[in-house]
Amino acid sequence: MPADEARHSTPLNAAFALCKSHFIGAACFSALVNLLYIAPTVYMLQVYDRVVPTHGLATLAVLTVALLFALVTLAVLDRIRVRLLVRAGLRIDAALAPAILDATLARSQPIMARQAMRDFDAARQTFTGAGALALFDAPWMPVYLLICTLLHPWIGALALVGVMALSLTAWCSERATRASVGRAQLLSATVYAGQDAILARSDIVRALGMRKAMVRRQMRQREALLHQQVAAGFASGNYTSFGRFLRLALQSCALGLGAWLAAEDQISAGAIFASSFLIARALAPAEQLIASWRSLQQARNSMRQLNALLGATSPELRLTPLPTPRGALRLENVTVVHERRELPLLTAIHCDIAAGEAIGIIGPSGAGKSTLLRLLAGIVPPNRGTLRIDGAESSQWDADRLAHHVGYLPQDPQLFGGTIKENICRFATERLKESGGADQGSIAAAQAAGIHEMILGLPGGYEYVLDAQGGGLSLGQAHRIALARALYGDPVLLLLDEPNAHLDGAGEARLLEVLQQAKARGCTIVLASHKRTILPVLDRLIVLNNGRVQHIGPRDAVLAALDGSTARTVAHA
């Protein structure tokens, strides 16, 4: 039994279990609400059967007061159950949103990652909104059927036929829309991801005259999405309209049946209208389910995808804290394969980098320099082989703890929405224990990168706010802010991808000073660059070509070998 429970337990199930009391409370209030829905029927029966024949105005007054009290109570209870579901939604969000965001950051599939939070929000709103209310009301259909039967068996039979017909309609609606809804959800993830990418690069789109082309491309992609959405909408709309027709027809038939039974003296006059009202209440949950079926189906698909996302994320193991790293690296026949094309980006890389050593990675474009740096930074895992840091396999290190000792500068600065200080300190202000030293650490990193005065010249200085996409600075400024971010906290391992790509002469001179200072304090430096102006600070060079190590050795020896190879190539030509 415990094994079965573990197999069926998922993060989403656990989050919903936290709200068990909310859902039980909402179900109990739904029971009271549905019982109080009978009050108008009782009132109608009493008015026609007791008040009208006896002209009992006092009785009418008492009945009216009782009805109003019941309706007020119904409204209050309905409000409470809605609030319970809203509270449940907040609790589910607090339990799952951090895990989903963390899982999306751990995945290398940006399209599915972007869609995950949209799926979660849609599912949460459905299961704590109108869809949930329809599910809570559905079990009360048999109760209304029983009351209809107590009025007269024929009325009960008519209500039973109506409930069965609407239930069949709901089932047919689910079958007709299942495939279209699923395909529409998958397509929407791709379409919205593409749209986000275009908007993020709108300046390039305008500069290159690509606006109309991108609009046409997006519209072509949206056509497929709209085709699936329209197919699902038409099918769902057909069944919703049929369900509404069926309910109205059955209500009218109930009036006719009631009139016939009253004419035969089998029920009272009040029961004519009561039967119509009760059948309407019996059919209402089924009609609500038909109307909500599409959103319930989408929510179910979203839950399945979220379970897959969270299930594919390896659980965090409590690792033994290792000593502060010194920066010694060892790559043992490391191979990295492209995740989609299954092509090797790096092949059988084997090298040792001593702590405090400065290594340069050179080679033609596409040789694998950036991939190697991403591997060392922990962004790309090796498909084969082993990466060791201070002798321990990379998997033995706590990733977050290790990252505090690593400085990484990608080719694209990739700043984030927030202040300059928050970007430099890697948003340490969000970690309460570190918020006190974030100010001093940010200033120290900015001074080390030589941009303290530049930051002070911005409006608000270190509190200058970048937009949601991390924009608001020139490319050169953003690159230097990213360099300061890499230097934050005096890392023992500095990984720099084309650090001088966007720098002028003065900036390159300052970068050399930064690297000399880092090297002097024992920092291990690994950088990739196409410019030879940065080579004097390096101890050794690794030459990559087509993902393989072509040369590795002392800087001057490798350069001499490369220059000699070039000279021989020119001579033979």
Q: What number of residues does the chain have?
A: 573
Residue 315 pLDDT more than 80? no
- How far is residue 105's CA from residue 103's CA, in Å, rounded to a whole number? 5
Residue 346 forms part of a structural domain: yes
Tell me what pLDDT residue 359 has. 93
pLDDT digits (tens, 9 = 90+) for 358-377: 999 998 888 889 899 999 98
pLDDT digits (tens, 9 = 90+) for 453-482: 999 999 999 999 888 777 788 888 888 899
Residue 1 forms part of a structural domain: no
- Pairing between β-strand 329-337 and β-strand 358-362 as defined by DSSP bridges: unpaired
- How far is residue 399's CA from residue 72's CA, in Å, rounded to a whole number? 57
Are residues 63 and 195 both part of a single domain? Answer: yes
Tell me what pLDDT residue 542 has. 92
Are residues 565 and 454 both part of a single domain? Answer: no
- Lookup result for tokens 């005259």: 209
Residue 126 forms part of a structural domain: yes
CATH number of the domain at 434, please: 3.40.50.300
Residue 74 pLDDT more than 60? yes
- 3-class DSSP assignment, residue 346: strand
Are residues 240 and 256 both part of a single domain? Answer: yes
Residue 16, C-beta contacts closer than 8 angstroms, at least 6 positions apart: 23, 92, 127
CA torsion through residues 402, 404, 407, 409, sign: positive
CATH number of the domain at 135, please: 1.20.1560.10
- Please answer whether residues 158 and 253 qualify as being in contact, where contact means their C-beta atoms are separated by less than 8 angstroms: yes
- Pairing between β-strand 540-545 and β-strand 358-362 as defined by DSSP bridges: parallel
Edge-first strand order for the sheet with 384-389 is 344-353, 329-337, 384-389, 392-393
Tell me what pLDDT residue 500 has. 83
Residue 333 forms part of a structural domain: yes
Residue 3 forms part of a structural domain: no
Are residues 78 and 205 both part of a single domain? Answer: yes
pLDDT digits (tens, 9 = 90+) for 410-429: 888 888 888 899 888 888 87
Are residues 480 and 497 both part of a single domain? Answer: no
Residue 209 pLDDT more than 80? no
Give me 437's structure tokens: 């030293």
Task: Supply the Cα-derived Rg of the chain in whole angstroms.
Answer: 34
The residue among 180, 18, 188 whose CA lies nearest residue 116 is 188
Among 290, 312, 334, the domain boundary falls at: 312
Are residues 393 and 539 both part of a single domain? Answer: yes
- How far is residue 409's CA from residue 373's CA, in Å, rounded to a whole number? 9
Residue 337 forms part of a structural domain: yes
Are residues 154 and 239 both part of a single domain? Answer: yes
Q: Which residue has the higher pLDDT, 259 or 184?
A: 259
pLDDT digits (tens, 9 = 90+) for 17-34: 888 888 889 889 988 998
Residue 264 forms part of a structural domain: yes
Are residues 162 and 148 both part of a single domain? Answer: yes
Residue 2 forms part of a structural domain: no
Among 256, 282, 312, the domain boundary falls at: 312
- Segment 527-538 shows an average pLDDT of 86
- Lookup result for tokens 């027709």: 245
- Please answer whether residues 174 and 301 qualify as being in contact, where contact means their C-beta atoms are separated by less than 8 angstroms: no
Residue 234, C-beta contacts closer than 8 angstroms, at least 6 positions apart: none
Are residues 186 and 308 both part of a single domain? Answer: yes
Are residues 366 and 503 both part of a single domain? Answer: yes
Give me the domain span that covers residue 353: 325-405+491-573
Among 269, 290, 312, the domain boundary falls at: 312
Are residues 28 and 79 both part of a single domain? Answer: yes
- 3-class DSSP assignment, residue 406: strand
Are residues 371 and 519 both part of a single domain? Answer: yes
Q: Which residue has the higher pLDDT, 565 or 84?
A: 84
The number of distinct structural domains making up the chain is 3
Give me 314's structure tokens: 């390896």
pLDDT digits (tens, 9 = 90+) for 322-346: 888 898 999 999 998 877 666 788 8
- Please answer whether residues 492 and 326 qualify as being in contact, where contact means their C-beta atoms are separated by less than 8 angstroms: yes
- How far is residue 218's CA from residue 195's CA, in Å, rounded to a whole number? 7
- How far is residue 18's CA from residue 9's CA, in Å, rounded to a whole number? 13
